[in-house]
Chains A and B, each alone.
Chain A
């Protein structure tokens, strides 16, 4: 029990001192029983501020410290590391008089509340006990969810560092969206040419276990010790035996749209999404196949010389233990059918940006030839519309970040293909913030003579064989009417379908149901709020390829900082069951979100130290009050409430 408590009140510049009368608070606290010392300082978190605490602990012989400042999520660690040299870190507590008082109340009320909060914290620290951190073993392996460029880069970085990686991809092949792109801005590198070497590295890397056509279905555990269940869908083709000769594809009688080609090219029920797919194997689409149970058609099996096709393949659930998880689930385009003002869905000649990427791609449905889909002719006038669904309160309020750049690239590639063609780009502003981006835009505007029109398009409709685009040029104030052959919409980027489900499994937050929410927008941009889970790529926010690769490497380094250790320190502030009085009713077992409460052979509940996160749900639910949270004991909480009211 602490008998000589020191109180340190931070001004936080004017954040606290501008509202709260800090001297009055210090004066009040000096009178409070158990408080041996109280002072104020301009910035307690600064080096001189920390030294002040050190000095006073020695001079005044303090045995506990209360710092009244900002939220403990900001500086608890700072002040505890100061106190660590003198006594247990649990003898250092913070009273949040900034977020919870000075920022939200009038001066008089704020001062009064600050005093109450401080008194309550003094009461708490008085009864705090000393604990040592719990050491938990670490599973030195990482799970990467999503095999796009983000997942590939993260997996390679971790595997190169010498640790095992499990890379899970939902589609038959890794590669993701980047594999669909034709060329990349601003250097116009062929997207597949720079991506496929990395894909091959993944398939060859001894430390990477690639599970394609698979989904994560269950995740439990905590940092260092996640238990993951992965459903491996049957592809009905043996990956090792398939030689990709294509004989099965020739005889397959079922024709369905190819998702990889944005459904603009057909494929068979047995298919390989693109020639460079990794793993290099055919996949039988169970939904499209004529029927497997009962087996209706066996043309592909009969044609397969390698004997790779097995209609009896079953879905498999693979269980893995990993120390950390990277989520790189990627993006989808905004639902095109919601853009009614742009007439999408009704017209063949109004297409999305990803469809245009496939049209430009040499391996795409048109073989790289730009066509007007309704007639197959070369379009002589093309209108590109930026911010289709982005920066629009009726659709998505945010900027999709990459559309300005890829639209410029689209227009440039169009001009290179159709020399006598005219290209128009409708834009709100041009956002070209990356390295070499502004120069690229300038080149497109000047050298390629693309017509940039600042303004939004009001309406698009068909007139004969032309698409009429109505808009306003806001620089001249004049109405613009363009009779185009082809309209390309730069669709807004949204989190991949299913992001919410993955987030639910991982118990991480999702911003407005669209993108994964990071722990701190500036200082923890790749971390989830739960420890051991990291984000990479467009699952977190729209970004270009360099940013995705950088973020993937960042999260890989975060993962390495966890799985490179043998043991992790864990907060010892967990639940403790009074076994003598436990009636064994099991309520705590049913409410614990971490499966930390377990029944012992004698029928009584027990808290598994390594699993408990100290949330307190069990303590609140125990009908006989026999579970206590360490350093949040009932007496402490009662006393705190008492001094506050």
Chain B
């Protein structure tokens, strides 16, 4: 459905950084992400766990940083991308 407004509201966007080797595969970030941006990857990290990876469309991340809050290993963080005013 298309909005009729001239200027569409743009949600903020965050870039997700995953420090794969720190991950212990608890899955909290996947479980608690409100936008369901993350999923478990099939690869192993150096410690033998499956770290998270982004689902195909990482545009959905709005940068709430809840993943980094729940991560027990400080293995994930977000950088908010500045909006381009155009």
Q: Which residues of A are interface residues toward B (Cβ below 8 A)? A: 253-255, 257, 263-266, 268, 290-291, 294, 296-297, 348, 359, 364-367, 371, 373-374, 376
* Complex-state Cα separation, A241 to B35, whole angstroms: 31
Whether the Cβ atoms of A348 and B64 lie closer than 8 Å is no
Question: Taking chain B's interface residues, is the majority helix, strand, or loop, or is none over half, making it mixed?
Answer: loop
A265 & B66 in contact (Cβ 8 Å cutoff): no
Residue of A nearest to B33 (CB): A296
* Interface assignment of B27: CB less than 8 Å from any CB of chain A: no
Q: Which of B1-15 contact A (CB under 8 A)?
A: 1-6, 8-9, 11-12
Q: Do B2 and A254 touch (CB < 8 A)?
A: no
Q: How many residues of B contact A (CB 8 A)?
A: 17
Number of residue pairs A-B, CB distance < 8 angstroms: 54
A290-B64 CB under 8 A given contacts A253-B11, A253-B12, A254-B11: yes
Which B residues are in CB contact (< 8 Å) with A257?
A: 1, 3
Expressed in whole angstroms, the minimum distance between the Cβ of B10 and any Cβ of chain A is: 8
Measured CA separation A364–B5 after assembly (Å): 9
Assess the B62–A266 pair: CB atoms within 8 A: no
The answer to whether B74 has its CB under 8 Å from any CB of chain A is no
Contacts A253-B64, A257-B3 known; 4 new A-B pairs at CB < 8 A: A266-B9, A297-B66, A365-B5, A376-B6
Given contacts A290-B64, A294-B32, A297-B66, contact A365 B3 (CB under 8 A): yes
Cα–Cα distance between A644 and B63 once the two chains are bound (Å): 82
Give 22 pairs: A residue, B residue, CB < 8 Å, sorted on A: A253-B62, A254-B11, A254-B62, A257-B1, A257-B3, A263-B1, A264-B3, A266-B8, A268-B9, A290-B34, A290-B62, A290-B66, A291-B32, A291-B34, A291-B66, A297-B66, A359-B4, A365-B3, A366-B4, A366-B6, A371-B4, A373-B4
Task: Chain A residues near B12: list those with CB within 8 A.
Answer: 253
Whether A366 touches B5, Cβ cut-off 8 Å, given contacts A254-B62, A294-B32, A297-B64, is: yes
B positions within 8 Å CB-CB of A = 1-6, 8-9, 11-12, 32, 34-35, 62-64, 66
Q: How far is the CB of A246 from chain B (nearest CB, A)?
A: 13
> What 9 A-B pairs come out closest when comparing CB atoms?
A290-B34, A365-B4, A253-B62, A297-B64, A296-B66, A264-B4, A266-B9, A365-B5, A255-B9
Query: Please, which residues of chain B bring their CB within 8 A of the CB of A374?
Result: 2
CA distance A367 to B1 in the complex (A): 19
Residues of chain B within 8 A (CB-CB) of A255 are 9, 11
Q: From B69, which residue of chain A is reached at the shortest CB distance?
A: A296
The distance from the CB of A249 to the nearest CB of chain B, in whole angstroms, is 10
Contact partner of B2 (CB less than 8 A), chosen from A268, A359, A373, is A373
Closest Cβ of chain A to B70, distance in Å, is 8
Query: In the bound complex, do residue A265 and residue B62 qualify as a contact, i.e. CB atoms below 8 Å apart?
Result: no
Known: A253-B62, A290-B64, A296-B66. A266 touches B34 (CB 8 A): no
Q: Which residues of B contact A376 (CB under 8 A)?
A: 6
Q: Are A265 and B64 in contact (CB-based, < 8 A)?
A: no
Are B1 and A265 touching (Cβ within 8 A)? no
B64 cross-chain contacts in A, Cβ below 8 A: 253, 290, 296-297
B54 to chain A, nearest CB (A): 18
Contact B3 A265 (CB under 8 A): yes
A296 touches B1 (CB 8 A): no
Asked if B9 and A296 sit within 8 Å, CB to CB, the answer is no
User: What is the CA–CA distance of A348 and B2 in the complex, to the nearest angstrom?
Assistant: 7
Shortest A379–chain B CB gap in Å is 13
Q: A266-B8, A296-B32 are in contact. Are A253 and B2 (CB under 8 A)?
A: no
CB-defined contacts of A297 to chain B, threshold 8 Å: 34, 64, 66
Question: With A253-B63, A294-B32, A296-B32 in contact, do A266 and B2 touch (Cβ < 8 Å)?
Answer: no
Report B72 CB to chain A, min CB distance, Å. Answer: 15
Distance to closest chain A CB from B29 (angstroms)? 12
Inter-chain contacts of A367 with B (CB < 8 A)? 6
Q: Do residues A265 and B11 form an inter-chain contact, with CB atoms below 8 A?
A: no
Residue of A nearest to B35 (CB): A290
Contact of A266 with B3 in the complex, beta carbons under 8 Å: yes
Per the bound structure, the CA–CA distance linking A263 and B5 in Å amounts to 11
Chain B's closest residue to A253 (CB) is: B62
When distances are taken between beta carbons in the complex, the residues of chain B under 8 Å from A373 are 2, 4
A365 to B9, CA, bound (A): 12
Cα distance A73–B35 when bound, in Å? Answer: 61
Measured CB to CB, the closest approach of chain A to B81, in angstroms, equals 12
